A and B are shown apart, each in its own frame.
Chain A
Amino acid sequence: EVQLVASGGGLVQPGGSLRLSCAASGFTVSNNSMAWVRQAPGKGLECVSVIYSGDSTYYADSVKGRFTISRDNSKNTLYLQMNSLRAEDTAVYYCARTWGHWGQGNLVTVSA
Chain B
Amino acid sequence: DIVMTQTPLSLSVTPGQPASISCKSSQSLLHTGGKTYLYWYLQKPGQSPQLLIYEVSNRFSGVPDRFSGSGSGTDFTLKISRVEADDVGVYYCLQSIQPPFTFGPGTTVDLK
CB-nearest residue of chain A to B51: A100
Chain B binding surface SS class:
loop
Contact with A along B73-101 (1 / 0, CB 8 A): 00000000000000000001010100111
Inter-chain contact A44/B49, CB cutoff 8 Å: no
8 contacts between A and B (CB under 8 A): A44-B103, A45-B94, A50-B101, A60-B100, A99-B39, A99-B54, A100-B60, A105-B48
**What is the interface of chain A, defined by CB distance below 8 A to chain B?**
35, 37, 44-47, 50, 58, 60-61, 94, 98-105
Interface-centre pick from B39, B100, B105 (highest chain A CB count, 10 A): B100
A-B contact count (CB 8 A): 44
A46 → B minimal CB distance (Å): 7
Of the candidates B48, B60, B92, B100, the one whose C-beta lies within 8 Å of that of A94 is B48
Contact with A along B37-53 (1 / 0, CB 8 A): 00100000000111100
Residue B7 interfacial (CB < 8 Å):
no
Residue B106 interfacial (CB < 8 Å):
yes
Inter-chain contact A102/B94, CB cutoff 8 Å: no
CB-nearest residue of chain B to A35: B101
